[in-house]
Structure 1
Amino acid sequence: MAAGLFATAHAHPPAEDLMRDKIAIEEHFATDDPDTVCQSEEYFATDKWPEARQELLDLNDIRLKKMDASGIERSIISLNAPVVQSFYDRDQAVDWARRTNDLLAEQISKHPDRFSGFAAVPMQDPDAACAELERCVNDLGFLGPLINGFSQVGDKDSVHYLDEKQYWPFWETAQRLDVPVYLHPRDPAEGQRQIYEGHPWLLGACWAFSHETGTHALRLMGSGLFDAYPRVQVILGHLGELLPYNIWRTDHWLRKLPRGLSVQHTFAHYLHENFYVTTSGNFRTPTLVDAIVEMGVDRIIFATDYPMEDMEEAGHWFDQVEFGEADLRKIRRGNAIRLFKLDNA
């Protein structure tokens, strides 16, 4: 390995040194409805929120300039979190998903060479979620859904995860349409946060996001979902929400003490065959190396997590990673082109 392999980049290289062909796939936006854009406010320092709010609402000015400065050719845009998943009224969730997807499609049409979209889907109504996914893929040209973790159904304390049988028709729809599903984090439900009481700094991206989302992914593996729908592909951000670094131990103990688990393969098999991970919000080269060693370079995709993270930091960090060019090209664009069938990228 090159001597500089494990360096964490902070200094920005000259603009002419940027690789300008990156495809970034976890890039968020919000609508100007105060009840939805402000769901992101708690994840920013008070003095940073006004700028972040502006960045969430913008698709045509600030974002494009930052993409150019970061060497990003195309961004796959998704709604901020948790929004639709937090609307426990079914009709509100269905209405909001449809209107938001139409709004995103309209914005993408202004820059179709720079933007693509992930669909928001109302998992509070599985039939409506299937129909909305079909509409977004077939009519709006979206590349799949992004789901913000569990959904609250009926009331705020009713939490439903995607391994539940009511959602299996949705997974069948995703497999039939041949589109991946991005499983994006959200904090655990308020009634399930006892371990964080007195330690609010553990919530959000610091720790709780990965713990919540990694556990959600393990539920999918243990439910038999991937045995029933083996071609389903799930994307996890943040270099795998801790899973690549603990999957051996998970399987090790399941072999010794399965506790009723009955699936056809190891969890490592599902991680390797049914999951991709992105670099969103995890700009650390040794961690990237670990993910590649566990999952293979073909399963890693570039992302930034803008505007929750600094797009330019993400782009410039990646441009200083010292791998072989063939592997770097796969991560920054090739794997995304293959997964999303971006023939014109």
Structure 2
Amino acid sequence: MNNHKTYVWSFLGRLSHWLLVISFFACYITSFYEELLTLHVSLGIFVFGMLLKKIVWGIIGPKYAKWSDFNFSLSSLKLYFVKKIEDRYREIEAGHNPASSWFAFLVTWIGIFCCMTGFILYGIQEGNGIFSFLNKNYYTYMYFYEDIHILSVYILICMIVFHVSGVLIEQFYHKTNMVMAMVTGYKKAKGSDIQPRFKMIFWGSFYTLLVFAVFSYAYFIPENIFIKSKFEKIDYKALHKDFQFECSDCHNLIPPHLLPKESWIKLMNEQSDHYDEDLELEKNLSDSITKYLVENSAENSTREASYKISDEIKNSKKFTISDTLYWKDIHKNIPKDIFKSDEVENKSNCVACHKDFEEGILSDSNIIYPPKK
């Protein structure tokens, strides 16, 4: 059994590795919570930054971290697994073996692809960030990019599971102490110790701090270029004071872009039985409000909620938003008793959590959850 130790992974290399692991899984966890979307995107920026560092580090970094030191030979990959099975206590390489070479290469580029699809999705679906300009012409592709982004995430998770399994097999079956290699930097293998140069340490440290700074800027500074929405607040009173007054007198003002035109027409035609109330609007007033609602309905909006609600109820003419599958899906993690609390009272009180709801903004970054007392 080999007891020789070689200093293989520099401190910056190990730090980047663990920062990438932590930020990736934090990014994954926050994806399940609508109100954490800003944090999710900010973490995605951090992951992207660490992956870019991995590429550059593979060019200018120390021995063993360089791409040129990786073994991408398919015959060597086959031989690696044969030896792994035949010889439990075989000598291992100081650098990346063929399997870890392919893993590091693929996980880096698939990770970058995953981040890029996420940024594009954020622009197309939410109308936010540096790709917000894509929302205007490509918002109908939001389902496609969402599926691609999610698929790439789970491909990465599957790869990570296989990677961790391989490390644990090395640790407990082959007794190579592989787990500690990325902690101490020393690998139980024969080779020459790395000697990181000052320039390498300086620029590697500077870049890592820069990624932290960009992450902090994206998350903590409001309306920054990575998060800013293309959608502005709407002054409905200035645009149509009758709509604003009549439709906010008894409940939250519902932005016209949340329902398709047929739903608005049906709702206005049935105003004598509007949730057990008779609105008693004069015909001219009713026609004016209906015209405004139709002109600004979901069909004329590129917002995520507009498109998804319209796509779901286009043939049913429903007009109770909280009855849609879309609404139920994005609110599924909210405890039912929240809607009965003094702060919310019922599902239609959207402004309890969406602070700019009555000005047409449903951005995830504007969500206040749990609702303030």
TM-score (norm 1): 0.22
Bigger-Rg structure (1/2): 2
TM-score (norm 2): 0.21
Structure 1 or 2: larger strand share? 1
Structure 1 or 2: larger helix share? 2
